[in-house]
Every structure is written in structure tokens, then in C-alpha cells.
Structure 1
């Protein structure tokens, strides 16, 4: 079976060849993963039933026809009108004249018009012809972004005019004011209020520059909290305003003062077309107006609709769509599906302002409308007495802050209104809009301390529960004491090592507990650390013990949102379920594959965890980390300190060595150390102590070590001239240094070869007197993806580990000839680097500035090494990881025998 990359390569080959209208259809069939026998039958005409001259039709797959020059679009029209197209239901229609391509997905109506030479680059559009679905996320709504910016400016202007509202004790009041304002602007545009009722009241009575806006807004909000017959104490002009209730205006009513600038921003906000705004805009409002420090601490993320759909689609919406397609012509099945919608509950245990719940509600209502419309087409409008079987009571959430929890309820109300309006467009009726009703089962509290069964009761009978959300991403260093205590509550007594986990790990663990043995599934967003390093090898085995499996996953991708400060985070989405025979989906970029098994590293491969090994299990040379001084810095010399010492005492040159840590290796910095080696020269210590500057340094080292609470350090106070931990052999000729931490931006891991007169610090991993072919392994793309996956990261940097990365790295059994080839390749890499001296590793491996000759020798090294693994270069990192995990699993099985 061809993977999407192979299909892309095959289509690109067709695009680069001379166009032949007589053979294109058969070449396209081969390129889209059809068997040789299938293509042979097409060529023989036994299965090709196209009714278009020169056409090729493969049932369920594609219908192609050649076009006259400049007539590709017209030929696409002919294919659409073809009776054979209607009968065979091909996934793709494609017409081309060899210059341009016109294509269509008949099922969705999506079209493509591109140059013939782009056939390979547009491969994702043609994946349905190979029976593979292209993964597509929803589009952003630009109105949301515009509204966010307008309201953020209004908020800033109000705080500038009213600095007391920026104080922590007034923050809730300010946020509540903005929520009320947004509700009113939306309501008057969509028909909840009379058209422009709110705006006319504000701008009619507030003065030309907003000098009375505060008092006017207080009166408006107060009126909306009272039935119309109880407003005698308010100005007469408020008596016609709608009674809202529902808790939104129940708290103390207040408003900040406006200056002309703030009032202008309010006018601009009122001029927006709020009827086009998605309910998820409230999440963006929170991100724009909440205190940045509080937002970071509470983990409040604004999640855009396309990203939400990456979770909800594979979790359960895609299944609903498949069921709807199967039931399309069967009224009884349509009714069963509608009943199923009423029994689906969606639970977001980190709901923030309700974005996931809002989108889930909206998508479920949209599918219900499609069902009812289809029933109307088939049997007439007589099958539903109720207005809608989908209720806001089916949507549950937990949120830490009261403001966000209230906002979630309001967002769900707006989603309900929009769904009702859509229903009215189709069926001509909708329920009363006001007063507001409570919306959504939103609990304010700490999700890691609440009982999820109590918040969202377990499914009974044929009920279904889907847990979805974007919990806070907080690594160990950023967790506050309360969050660490919450982690203790979740994990203590269940697993020994969990302190290094990202906070989001607790949500995964609780989700697995909740769904165990129930008609429930879960899908959560996390940083990709959740499937790397310690989390992959420690957290997931415990989750799998619940008889849970990964049903689908989005592999690492950049997570962006609608916010103006749109920082990208590398994230994954992992969907978990009870063990099942159903297909597993692995999504990578814009295409997906069906996986036999998805392991904790999000690889289609065996369920194994890579554990640290004290010795290489792969036959590789032993790697250790460098020398550790534990000296308080007194044995280390800067360039100036080294020159000062050697100028005053030339005899000290023999006791000074170049000293390289990670930063020195990568950035070419110069540092030095005092290296007194009594093994090589018994008189060296006496000579060092005879030099006052060195003797003073020894004294400071001794004092520093005596203060240490670490016994192994304090015991070395009587040997202040020596590093505490020395791992280098007594004699060696060279060393290979690998920095322990390196930027993820670099296309290859940094590695350098140094002579024996260089001392490596403990911030490097070191191979002493190892053959040069080790450099070829370390400097390969293959090794980088292994390290990135099994070792994890420190912040956003790769973290290199000898025990976890090098000692476990799967390698085939190399021949002597292959090792010689790899050694030669390593020397070519080093030689090419030297030709660019004095550029540093950091400069040479900047992905935007990497010299082409260096890039070329690395590509050659990759091709050479990878051919030794599978007989050809790997097509992508996914394929690399799949092979590496196969080899690792085989090695583990072999070791277990």
C-alpha cells in the first residue's frame, strides 16, 4: 500500500513527463495506489466504462477525460454531466489538456484548478482517488479577529481613563462589564433585541463625547435585570428595553467612565456586523482583556475553530457524518440518528470560556437540521413535534474562574440563538429568545480536585460521553505550589514518578479513568512533550493499564489561534478510547493514514516504551557525560583570566586546558580550566600551589565545597585542584562531543570532534576515542528524530541523553565496509565545516543560512545511512520513526529471550 508521500512522488513523476492523453488515465491509476491487475483491466477496456471520448473511469475512484487545448474546465462540466459518473460515483473527476488541470470532488463539490506541473504538489486533493481522505480543518472567520481588536482597544482605553478598574479587586467587575457589552452588541444585530436598540439608547443619551455614557450604561443594564413593570425608578427611555434576566445582569451594576477616545472605540465596535461573529469570539475576548499574568497562571487558552475541529472531528463528528451518509435514503435510520444526537453529552473539564462546548453544540445542531431537512424531503414535515432534540443541558464543563464560567454559559446561549435562527431559516419557526435560560452544565472549580463523575454523570444505557478540551500547558518549572498539590492528588499512590510531567498529563489520566469501561471517549490537546521522553515512557503505560488505547492522534503541529499575539506552540492531539477493533487514525499535516497501532510516541508501531539503559544495547561505543568540576567556578578561566595568568606565569600553560560546555561547542566560545594531572606529572600540584593566583583559587574551591550539603562534593574539599567527577580515560587521542541541550530549529544535532587536550564539561555527552562513523550517526536526520521523540525537550530545545537516546538508538548490523563509508562521510561533514571557518556551529546550522555545500554533505550522509536501514532513503520522519520503533521492539524482544 502506498503512503501519501509515495503518491505525491508518483503524481509528480507524471507531471514532469511529456503529457500523453492516451496514457494519462492509466498512469494516474497506478500513481493512486491501484493494483497492477486493476490497471491492466482498465487498459484492456474490460472495466473502463467511461462514456466520454478518451476517458478512463474506475468505479468509486476517478473519472478522467482528456481536454482540447484551453478546454479543461469545459471537459470537467462534461464529466459532471456524464451518466457513467452518476452511476460509478467516482471520488475524483479530472480533466486536463496537459497545461491545466480541472478537478472536482463530486461528493463535496470542492474544485481544483491548477497548472499540470502542480499535479504532485496538489497531491492531497487527489488522495480520495486512492481511498485516502484528506484531512481539512475549518476556516477562520476574519470578523472574529476584527472584533477582538476593536474590543481590546476599547478595553485599554477604558483602563487608561479608569486606572482603579485595573486593580485586582475590580478586575471581575471590568470583565463582567465587557461581557454585558458584548452580549448587547450581539443581541441587537441578530434580533434578540430590536434592531440597534442598545446602540441608539447609548448614543442618544451619552452626549457627543461620551461624557454621560457611564450613567446611561448603568441604567440600561439595570433595566435589563428588571421586568418592564418594575422600572418606575429608571428613566422612561429604558422602559422599552428587553428583560434579559438569566443571571447576566443580576450582580452589582456598574460601568467605567468614558472619554472621547473610548467612546469612539465603542462606536466602532457597535458598527461591526455582529451577526457574523461566532460564539467562540468570547474566548478571544477573554484573551484580549484578561490580565496576562493571571491568564498564564490559570492556563486560559483561546482555541480557534479550526483547531477545535481537529479534536471534535475525529472524536465523534466524523462518525456522525459517516452514519448520516449511510442513513441518507433511509428514514428509519435518520430518526435513530436524530435520537442518538439527543443522547450525546460533551464534557470539557478545562472549558475556559466554552469554545469547545460551543463548537460541539453548533455542529450537532447543524447535523440535526440536515437530518430533519432530509426527512422533510423524503416523507414531508411530520416527524418531529419538538423544536430540537439537542439541549444545552447535554454540555458540561469545569472552569477555574467564575468570569470564564459565566462567559461559557453566555457563549452557549449565543450558539443556541444562532442554531435556532438557522432552524427558522429552514423550517420557519423558533422558540422565544428572552428571558435567558440557564445554559450548559458549567461548574466553577478545580478540575483536578473535583469528582468528574459528579460533574458529568457517567453514561447510562445508550448514552455517549465525549471528553474534549485544551487543558493548561504548564511544565514542572512553571507550576505553582497549588498546581503541584493538585498533581499529587491525581498521581500520588498511582505512579512513582510524575513530578516532571506537564500539568496537562493529569487531565489525560483522569480522562482515562472516566472513560474506562464506559461508552465514552476523550481527546485532549497537549504540548508534544506528552508523547516524548518521560511522559511517553511513564504516563502512557499507566493509562494503557486501564485497557485504554489511542484511537486517533494528530502528530506534532504548530498550534495557532485568532489572537493578535499569535505565538505558535508545538502541540499534539491524542484521542483515547476503550480497546476496540475499530480503525485507528494517525493524522500528520494535511493527510491521514489508518494505523495498525498507535503507540505512546504517536507512531504506527508496536506498543513499547523506550527506557533508559546504563549500557548501549545496540553495540555502539559507550557514551558518558563530561567532567564535572563542582568548584563554584574557581577552576574555570575566561580568555582574559587565562592570558593574565600565563603572561605572569608562563609555566602555567601546561596546567591549563581548553574547557568546552554545550554553549562553547555550539557558539565557538573560549573558556579554559585549571587541569592538574598528577597521574601524568607528579610535580604538577606542587608547581600549581607555588603560584599565588592559583593557590588562592584552590582555597576558594575548598571553601565552596565545604559549604555543600552533598557529601560527595564536601569530601573533595581536601583536593581542591581536582574536578570532583572525572570520566575521561587516563589516556585518549580524541573525543566526540554532543551538547546536552540544543535548539530545535537546527536541522541536525550539533556534534564536534576535539583533541585530547580539550576538557569537556558535564554539559556535553562524550565518546572517547570512538570511531568517526559515530559522528555520521549523530549528525543524521535519523538520529535527530529519535532523540526528539524518546528524550523529549527542555523548554523548546532538544535534550540529549546518553542513557535514553544513544544507548537505545536502533541500528542495523553494519558491515566493516559500511562503517568505513560512514566514517568517510563524517570526515566530509567535518571538512566542509572547516572550510567555512571561523563560522560556528550555531551559524553553520542556522536553518535559514546553512551553506549549501554543508547541506549537501548532510543529505549525502542521510541517504548513505538510511540506505543501510531499508535499501533507500526514508521519505519522511514518520517513516523513519516507524522503522526505528520496529527495530527497537525487535531488539527488546531479543534481549528478553
Structure 2
């Protein structure tokens, strides 16, 4: 998918410039004598070494022409610098730009695989919901039995490149959407590649890339370079500011999550890996067309209706949980027929739900019109519970969950869990869990996305001793005490990184010491990078035993 050849043009230009610098230096060393690097054309770098595949005819033609222009410009500079340049007229040799579907063509027909082959590109970023039927079929054909519906379109180029590399020492690198190294895509993409012997040679962690196209849309991308068994010394490029410059860091190995770590993937699980924690589940899903939800402007009207007011409950999505935004819902699981008959408000809202569900294209939703008074999916606990937002800002230094009364209804924008003693609250409030979440969880742009199967169920918490369990619960209770001192602050305000109350910071520090001891024993984990390395070791150990 070489498009108009931007990557090829830049690569050709830079290689010619390097070659010219060598010629200049040799000229200096020989007292001004022009030294040709090749006894024939005088150059080692030629257009015939450059190849591309592009599905559209016009961009393919532009790529060919752009490379001729780049060659002409390089030759002019060579003449100005060393006094000699090749004569290209008439044009006989050019780059090989093949007009074809890059996911359908055999790449070895374009270029024979060899140890010297280098593949670069910026393949298209197209998620599942935006792909055409033809594109999905292309991806299925490329991946075969390993196809997974979550894979981004760009993943097809990774598989094609790995197949092209084969047993050679060829290398590849792609600019890609960040999602291929986050969340549920990691296992289906990197699992087969790692199993085939592919290793990551270098990687740029997520950064903001602004296109030069009209509109200058900024996207969050990564760059991943890989080869067979990773023969080069790995280098990781980290970004303190995703809009800033990277910091290079030599590492022992790079994990598919683009962190220093072993080449392993975290496989989603239907049950928690740890026997010390219990399951989480989705919150309550209305599927109601908004008719069971009471916004601020309607609240007074419902509270003035004696029959309807009985069923008004606080309702929290992720935003309401984090920012204490007021919102309510009608919770009509135990609706009294007498109240229904007495309230026009209840009748109208229930009829609105029935009508909305009846008109749905989904058969299961149409069936739910028969129980229009209740949420489409009901998961509300009978006792106090832990509420976990699905999405939180990447700026958070703590994953901000909250214990709620059973009278507060949590929407499906949250996860919920029975947590009678507060252990789960302590686990999710620890720095170790946040490090795990940030590494293996998915993201919306750069915001953290909690998941049940990919994050919670894979968290490698060993079997807790009674002492560690008691200490964790007690540490979590101290966090609750510290929070309670600031009743007018929302979770978002309490956990503003630059304005956290000092006593809350201290309470979390105590929790982290207890959690680190429970996880790692005497091994020290002074920061999240160290914690992650130890967590991956634990994960590998625990999954090997269970396997």
C-alpha cells in the first residue's frame, strides 16, 4: 500500500544522501580525487532496488514519477558536490511499482525474499466497523485459520510481511494504529507472529502523528520494526509527551505491548486467573430509548408524582461516577400495579420503552418489549458493591473505582462486582493494577479502557495468605477514610494528579507497599516499570502452571 510513494521517496533520498557523504569523505581522503563506489554506474543505490504495491492506478503512477524526480534531484546534488553524476537519459531503469491488492498478491513476485530485503510502510488503519466486505474477506484470506474479528485492517500487512520474511533475515517496520499493541488485538495478532519466530527489533510507543493531508487529522500511532528471531539489539522509543520527541532506550527485549519485557501475549480469560479475586460483570443496560432515564430537568416533575417518586433511583454511568454528575432512572423491577395505574408519567415512560424496543432490528430487543418496565439487562447487586468505570483518563495515577449503595443503579458504562469485605477495591486501587491496566488493557485514543476478560481476569495476583488479605482490606479502608474527609470532591477531583490530598496519597502509598509485598514478596518494585516486569513474570508462571 505504497500510495504516492512518500516512504519510498524519503528512503531513496536519504540513502542517496548517505552515499554522497561517503563519496565526499573519500574525496577528502584522496586529495580531491573522485571515488566511485561502484565500478559501473558509480552508485550503490539505484531505483531498481525500490519496489511498491498500490491498489489504485493514479497513486501508483505518481509514485513512479516521484521516484524519478527524487533521483534527478539527487543526481543534481551529486554533480554540485563531487563534480560527477550518472546520465539517466534515456530513462531505462526505474522503481518497480506494481498496481495490485497488497493483501491479495504474493509479495515474492514483486521482490524475491532475501536477507537484504527491507519492508516499510504506512498501511491503512481501518477497524472492524469501517471495513468493507471485500476488505474483511482480504483479511480472512491473509490470516486463514488465525483470523480474529477484532483485528484492524493494518494487521494484514504484519502477517504478509512475516510470511515474506520466512526464514530470511529480512526486516519490516510499519506505522500502525496504536490498537494493535493494546487490549484484545494483541493476542490474535502477535500470538501467531511470535510463535512463528518473529521478534520486535525496535518500537516507538504511542505518539500523536499529524497528517499533512487537508484537515491535518491527528491520530495516535505506533511504529513497530520486526524480523525473524530479532537479530538486532532491541531499542524502545518512549514518549513522555505524545506530541513531543522520543527518548531511545536499549532493552533486553520488547513485548507486544511495546514495553520492555518477554515476547509473550496475555490471553483473555472467561474466569479470573487468580483464585483470590472474584468476577466482575457489566452494569445494567437500559436499551430504552432514554425513557427509563430521568435527566436533571425532569427530576422535580417525577418527585412531585407520589407514585412515580417511589421508583426514582440515582443512576451512574462512568461520567456520573467520576464527576458526581446528577442523574436518575426509573427502577421498576418491583412495580406495584396500583402505582402504575395512578401515574401518567410511569405509563408514558413504559409505553415509550415498549415502542422503542418493538421497532428494533434485533429480535432479542423486540422480545424485551414484553418487559418494557425493566432494563434490558439487569445486574444490580442486592448489597453494597464496587463500581468500576469502563474508561478513565490516562493521566490518572490510580484507577478510580468506588463502593456504592445497592440503591444506586450502575449503568453498563461501568462494571460492577460484589465486594463485601473491600478486597477488590484494594486490588483495583493499587499501582500494580494500574500498571497492568495501562499495559494490557485497550484504549480509546489514549484513555484507559477497563475490560473484564482482558484486564481483570488476567491480573496475576497469587493466592493471598490470610495476613496479606487482612492487610490489603485494612489499607483499602484507610483510603475510604481519607476520601470521606472531602465529601464535596468528586472522584475526578480527588484523583487530579497535581492536586491529590496528601493524606490520600499517603493511604495509597501504604496500600502499594502491602500489594507489592503480596505480589512480589521481597522483590522491590519502586516504580510501575519494575512492577510490570515482575507482573509479566508472575503471569507467565501462573499461566504455565494452569496450562
- Residue 672 (structure 1) aligned with residue 328 (structure 2): yes
Which residue of 1 is the match for residue 39 of structure 2? 385
How far the C-alpha of 1:434 sits from its partner, in A, is 6.1
Based on CA coordinates, which of the two structures has the bigger radius of gyration? 1
Deviations 1:846-868 (A, max 9, x none): 55665666556545544553354
Match of 1:661 among 317, 322, 326: 317
C-alpha spacing 1:886/1:383, structure 2 compared with 1 (3 Å):
closer
Which residue of 2 is the match for residue 126 of structure 1? none
Question: 2:187 touches 2:267 (CA, 8 Å); kept in 1?
Answer: yes
Query: Distance in 1 between the 2:216 and 2:355 partners?
Result: 50
Deviations 1:234-261 (A, max 9, x none): xxxxxxxxxxxxxxxxxxxxxxxxxxxx
- Residue 643 (structure 1) aligned with residue 300 (structure 2): yes
Query: Distance in 2 between the 1:515 and 1:699 partners?
Result: 61
Match of 2:290 among 614, 633, 636: 633
Which residue of 1 is the match for residue 432 of structure 2? 782
Question: 1:560 touches 1:566 (CA, 8 Å); kept in 2?
Answer: no
C-alpha spacing 1:707/1:427, structure 2 compared with 1 (3 Å):
closer
Matching of residues 506-525 of structure 1 within 5 Å: 506-525=156-175
Query: Distance in 2 between the 1:403 and 1:853 partners?
Result: 64
Match of 1:487 among 105, 126, 139: 139
Query: Distance in 2 between the 1:652 and 1:801 partners?
Result: 35
- Residue 535 (structure 1) aligned with residue 189 (structure 2): no
How far the C-alpha of 1:538 sits from its partner, in A, is 0.9
TM-score (norm 1): 0.54
C-alpha spacing 1:582/1:496, structure 2 compared with 1 (3 Å):
closer
Match of 1:553 among 195, 202, 205: 202
Question: 1:556 touches 1:570 (CA, 8 Å); kept in 2?
Answer: no
Deviations 1:207-249 (A, max 9, x none): xxxxxxxxxxxxxxxxxxxxxxxxxxxxxxxxxxxxxxxxxxx
How far the C-alpha of 1:511 sits from its partner, in A, is 1.1
Query: Distance in 2 between the 1:558 and 1:674 partners?
Result: 43
TM-score (norm 2): 0.84
Match of 2:455 among 786, 805, 825: 805
If each structure's helix is expressed as a fraction of its own residues, which one has the higher value? 1
Which residue of 1 is the match for residue 241 of structure 2? none
Question: 1:555 touches 1:572 (CA, 8 Å); kept in 2?
Answer: yes
Which residue of 2 is the match for residue 459 of structure 1? 113
Which residue of 1 is the match for residue 83 of structure 2? 428
Partner SS, residue 523 of structure 1: strand
Matching of residues 796-875 of structure 1 within 5 Å: 796-847=446-497, 854=504, 857-858=507-508, 861-870=511-520, 871=522, 874=525
Query: Distance in 2 between the 1:771 and 1:465 partners?
Result: 59
Which residue of 2 is the match for residue 894 of structure 1? 545
How far the C-alpha of 1:765 sits from its partner, in A, is 0.6
Query: Distance in 2 between the 1:746 and 1:809 partners?
Result: 19
Which residue of 2 is the match for residue 879 of structure 1? 530
How far the C-alpha of 1:887 sits from its partner, in A, is 0.8
Question: 2:210 touches 2:216 (CA, 8 Å); kept in 1?
Answer: yes
Question: 2:51 touches 2:111 (CA, 8 Å); kept in 1?
Answer: no
Deviations 1:789-832 (A, max 9, x none): 33312344322112221111112444444444433443444444
Match of 1:723 among 356, 375, 386: 375
* Highest RCO, 1 vs 2 (Cα 8 Å, sep ≥ 6): 2
Question: 1:553 touches 1:586 (CA, 8 Å); kept in 2?
Answer: yes
How far the C-alpha of 1:749 sits from its partner, in A, is 2.5
Matching of residues 144-293 of structure 1 within 5 Å: none
Match of 2:71 among 416, 428, 440: 416
C-alpha root-mean-square deviation of aligned residues, in Å?
3.5
C-alpha spacing 1:502/1:458, structure 2 compared with 1 (3 Å):
same
Match of 1:615 among 268, 271, 290: 271
C-alpha spacing 1:481/1:742, structure 2 compared with 1 (3 Å):
farther
